[in-house]
Amino acid sequence: MWTKKQIADHIEAGALLERIKNDVYSLIQQNKRIPEKEVITFIKKAYKKYGLINDNKKESCIAAFGKNTSHVHYFPSSSSNFKLKTGNLILLDMWARLNKNNAPYADITWMFYVGKKIPNDIQSKWNVLIKSRDTAIKFIQKNKFPRGVDIDRVAHDYLGESGFGKNILHTIGHSLGLKHPHGEIPGINWREYSRIQKNIGYTIEPGIYFKGKYGFRTEIDFYVNDENKVIITTPLQSKLDLIN
């Protein structure tokens, strides 16, 4: 179990990641033709500015534009460093921890759309994804310390029943660690039959991906406290943030 100090450190790291997310939003508002690598450089500098560290200096965040959002773990190369343009989705995934001993990671994913109005096709898929995340949260709230496989199943069943089963490319979540965003405690996936544990941070991050077009992911962190209450520790995105 995490100590109260570690829980506080995790929550602080999540709040700082939210601040960086807001800073990135302002950055993009000022330059709607910004390339992906420039956003990544900005985030890495922001980690240092706000006293955060990351396990991997090279691949420490994801900033994907347009069709690159269809890749689960996308990092730009010289040939794929897209410049932003109107009509693009933006997927921002950041994970970091406070620069102190035994501080746990926080891990968030946030999405934006560049344009005056979100197309109906994108909005409808986003709504399904958000519902799958919320279904998983409600399941955990209703069932004390459920198994990882059951949490994964309830969220993926919702996506499958909505017609997106073939677009699921990863599991619903993972535990959070001290040296790596993926912790050593068993996570939330279709192979994990152990139950989630008290006072340990986890993620819920369903995603659906459409090859060559775009992808969607939403991610929150949570833990279950001593009173068996689910405490969500990072911002809960409901609407796609619009950049116009």
Q: What is the CATH number of the domain that holds 96?
A: 3.90.230.10
Residue in 162, 93, 101 with CA at minimum distance from that of residue 129: 162
Distance CA 13, CA 214 (A): 29
* pLDDT above 80: residue 242: yes
Q: Are 65 and 84 in contact (CB under 8 A)?
A: yes
Range of the domain at 182: 4-243
* pLDDT above 80: residue 238: yes
Question: pLDDT exceeding 90 applies to what percent of the chain?
Answer: 93
* pLDDT above 90: residue 58: no
pLDDT at 59: 87
Q: Are 187 and 202 in contact (CB under 8 A)?
A: yes
Distance CA 171, CA 134 (A): 15
Helix (H) / strand (E) element for 18: namely: helix 4-30
Number of domains in the chain: 1
Higher pLDDT, 191 or 130: 130
pLDDT in tens, 61-107: 999 999 999 999 999 987 778 899 999 999 999 999 999 999 999 99
